Amino acid sequence: MSDADQNLDGNGIGGLLEEIFVVEPTTAERICQSCRSRHPAGAHRAYIAAGVVLRCPSCSDVAVRVSELPGRRVVEFRGTWIFESSA
């Protein structure tokens, strides 16, 4: 693995997020549980290690954690998420 896929953002991991959310996720907004700031998923900072961690761009607290294991995906969400419907 090269370093080219480090320090991405929620937009860059959009493919993974879309598999979880099923709807286009990068425009979904989140209100942070720690600092109460509001940002689209696409603007969050993504870190790729043993799993993927998405963090608040204002305070760096954890927004989403994802582990991709054989045959399953374990996901944790924090904060309040807002999904606009297309209707």
Q: Summarize as ranges the residues that interact with another protein (CB under 8 A).
A: 1-12, 14-15, 18-19, 22, 24, 26-27, 40-43, 45, 47-51, 53, 55, 60, 62, 65-67, 69-70, 72, 74, 76
SS3 category, 37? coil
Choose between 31 and 45: whose C-beta lies nearer to another protein.
45
User: 45-69: string of b/e by CB count within 10 Å (b at 16+)?
Assistant: bbbbeebbbbbbbeeeebbbbbeee
Rounded least distance, CB 78 to another protein, Å:
12
